[in-house]
A = this chain, B = another copy of it.
Amino acid sequence: MPKALKIYSQDLTANPLLSHCDEGMIQKFVSSATIKTYPKGSVIFLQEDEASYFYIIVDGWVKLFRETLDGAEAIIDVISLGSMFGEGAIFSNNIYPHAAQTIEDATIIRIPLLLLKDAIEEDKAFAMHMLYVMAANRNQQDKELEHRDLQSAPQKIGCFLLRLCKPHQEGPIILNLPYDKTLLASRLGMKPETFSRALAKLKKETGISISGATVTFNSVNQLSDYSCSACSSTYPCQDL
């Protein structure tokens, strides 16, 4: 059942950057924003497209990716509620540096980039928050790069599952994979077949159980012992 298509300010403040705006600024954003539900598979924009808007996800999932001439694609990130995308175009001559596509039905708010640009230029505190957000993002990417190099396929899956847990979560854990396995595979830089086999191996080696999209295990240690040895961060690594 689709959410009523009205924009609430909390839809914006769900985003780590905009959560630092004062109410007046949020209102300015809201009044120029539009909201829309896209069916699964919709292309929001392509790499190199002229950019006039940035986006915030209210519901559903979106993948950010780059595509080569011969059709291969590299997934940069897969994001959901409260995540912002397209804002990077501000710093790239108003050209989107990657493509964005929904991978589930998704409800997304669209806001003119100009407003964001103004906010950054006018409001010093806001600019500082933007810096923090970008720095966090950069660290995230560095870590991602490390993972792709250093972890085996089953370790990558284990690491991904760990990041799905709340930090310091205790006791038995039941997770649902947030989107389909084919996509998850390429999010982790592998083929679907490899993913399937790697998941089976992870199951065998760590004793977690998997049924469909549901993953169950008794303690995070079961996974962290297995996955985190091939990583430079120490376990509860989400709070970076």
Contacts and interface: CB of A to CB of B under 8 A. Distances in A.
Contacts of A76: 142, 145-146
A214 B176 CA distance: 53
B138 A70 contact: no
Interface in A170-211: 189
A149 B120 CA distance: 34
Interface in A66-104: 66-70, 72, 74, 76, 88, 90-92, 97-98
Nearest to A70: B229
Contact of A97 (B132, B139, B148, B149): B139
Interface residues of A, number: 44
Interface string A5-43: 000000000000000000000000000000000000000
A136 B93 CA distance: 11
B66 A142 contact: yes
Given A145-B76, A148-B149, A230 B68 contact: yes
Contacts of A137: 138
**What's the number of copies of this chain in the assembled complex?**
2
Contact of A74 (B124, B138, B145): B145
Given A72-B150, A150-B68, A230-B68, A141 B145 contact: yes
B150 A74 contact: yes
Contacts of A127: 124, 127-128, 131
Contacts of A134: 131, 134-135, 138
A130 interface: yes
Contact of A128 (B66, B74, B121): B121
A47 B234 CA distance: 12
Given A72-B230, A141-B141, A145-B148, 9 more contacts: A47-B232, A66-B143, A68-B230, A70-B229, A70-B230, A91-B131, A120-B128, A120-B131, A131-B134
22 contacts: A47-B232, A67-B232, A68-B150, A68-B230, A68-B231, A69-B229, A70-B230, A74-B150, A88-B138, A88-B139, A91-B135, A92-B240, A97-B240, A98-B142, A121-B128, A131-B131, A131-B134, A137-B138, A138-B141, A141-B141, A141-B142, A148-B148
